Amino acid sequence: MNRQIGAFTNELAKRGFVWQFITLAGFHCNGLGVHNFAKAYAERGMAAYNEMIQREERRTGVPLLKHQVRSRVRVRVRVRVRVRGEVNLSLT
């Protein structure tokens, strides 16, 4: 049964279907993650966030962690452009 489920999208592709069913998996993955996190957060507050989210992101190398660095850089560059009148081609 697991082998059949694992090959499901490849078998559909062989029959001409190109739609990927990641939305179903993503929907349930998000639901499970949010449910577990909300339950732990209600019990332990930010400690749950630190343990379940931040540490796991670092441990597994989730690229989402970089969003803070990128967004701070973009804000600083925009401020320099507005205040100093600098031109930054990377933002165009």
pLDDT digits (tens, 9 = 90+) for 38-54: 999 999 999 999 999 99
Q: Closest Cα partner for 40 from 55, 25, 28? A: 55
**Cα separation of 79 and 13, whole Å?**
49
Cβ distance 20 to 12 under 8 Å? no
pLDDT interval class at 71 (50, 70, 90)? low
Q: What is the mean pLDDT of the chain?
A: 79
Lowest mean pLDDT among 24-28, 52-56, 71-75: 71-75
